[in-house]
Amino acid sequence: MINRRQTLAVAASATLGTSLNAFSQTGKWPSKPIRVIVPFAPAGAVDLLSRFLGEKLGAELGQTFLIDNRPGAGGNIGTEMVVRAGGDGYTLLIAGSPTHVINPYLYKNLSYNPVKDLSQVALIASAPNLLVVNPGLGLGSVEDLVKLARSKPGQISFSSAGNGTSGHLAGELLRSQARIDVMHVPYKGQADAITAVIRGEVAFAFVAIPGTLALVKDGRIKAIAVTSAARSALVPELPTVTQAGYRDFEVLAWYCMSAPAGVPAPIVAKLASEIDKLLQQPATKDKLMSLGMEPNFKKGPDFISYMAKESAKWGKVIKDANIVAS
């Protein structure tokens, strides 16, 4: 979905495509409240991050950041609203990997192109998943899980919060890289997916960290790995799936700020600069870690390149596994 030609086009438009009229107004920005559309439900990770950022950026820029939750269709509804909002810099989007690199493959008739129709401000943070198993299986490592799956082809299953979710894609990536035959069982949400592991309805799951560590400490589920490329400060005691021998295994939920295409480059640059400064503050890192995230700042071509790599990786996983939106 995101190729080199599109990448170059985005870079060119960021520097050359701004109209003189819009550019001349950037010195006055912001002069009124800024609407931040969050294309997911309240109280979730994206919403909590958005409210934190909105408060801090509002204080720095002297205007209120109004959080507007517009959930639906895996984040597509809210994202489409931003695409149609116009490029005056007063409508922003905080979303991430589903809307920017996964949904273009899951939804056949997506009305927006995340590269052409959005100006990417910055990558803000990322969050690994935990690989958890039912304690009764006696598994202590990724190697143990793979060995079990190979001994019972087609009989071992994993749960997720639904088709195309991070947990589903992580399971499919492990299936592909470990060359194991496992079954996917989608549930209505992460809580149900975790309950399925606890009850032994499935053997394992890839799940978000918030709300899960307490269950691990209680012994109701067992965490055997984390899905970041290197060990995570969130769970430093856990090895990575990469350390089990799967060198290209990295699964991160990530969160970013975007704006409609055509927003003047100085506005994009100002927002990126403010986010960068905010992420360097120890209190911000502590806040993100409390949300199960770590700072992961990228802007400009670096962020576009990262999106391209993520798009290529997950596009292949989705196509190979024939995943469609549920």
Quote the pLDDT of residue 11: 45
- 144 and 234 housed in the same domain: yes
Domain-located, residue 73 = yes
Q: Give the three-class secondary structure for 22.
A: helix
Looking at residue 211, its pLDDT comes to: 85
Whether 326 maps to a domain, the answer reads no
Average pLDDT over residues 43-61: 96
How confident is the model over 135-149, as pLDDT tens digits? 999 999 999 999 999
Mean pLDDT of the chain: 92
* CATH number of the domain enclosing 309: 3.40.190.150
Beta bridge mates, 298:
123
Residue 140, domain CATH? 3.40.190.10
**What's the distance, CA 215 to chain centroid?**
23
pLDDT of residue 326: 67
Q: Please say which residue of 244, 267, 288 terminates a domain.
A: 244
Residue 264 sits in the same domain as residue 117: yes
pLDDT bin (cut points 50, 70, 90) of residue 3 is: low
The answer to whether residues 291 and 224 belong to one domain is no
**Residue range of the domain that includes 181:** 128-244
Residue-wise pLDDT tens digits, 231-266 = 999 999 999 999 999 988 999 999 999 999 999 999
DSSP secondary structure letters along 164-232 = TSHHHHHHHHHHHHHT--EEEEE-SSHHHHHHHHHHTSSSEEEEESTTTHHHHHTTSSEEEEE-SSS--
User: Is residue 204 domain-shared with residue 272, that is, in the same domain?
Assistant: no
113 against 16, higher pLDDT: 113
- Residue 309 Cα to chain centre, angstroms: 14
Q: Residue holding tokens 């959930």?
A: 71
**pLDDT average, residue stretch 201-229:** 95
**Residues 185 and 226 occupy one common structural domain:** yes
Residue 39: name the closest of 13, 71, 73 by CA: 71
148 and 123 inside one domain? no
Instruction: State the total domains in the chain.
Output: 2
Do 29 and 93 belong together in one domain?
yes
Q: Is the pTM of this model over 0.75?
A: yes
**What confidence score (pLDDT) does residue 108 get?**
87
Q: Which residues of 59-80 are buried (b: 16+ CB within 10 A; e: fewer)?
A: eeeebebebebbbebbbbebbb
Average pLDDT of span 267-278: 98
93 and 233 part of one domain: no
The confidence score (pLDDT) of residue 28 equals 87
Q: Summarize the confidence of residues 22-31 as an average pLDDT.
A: 67
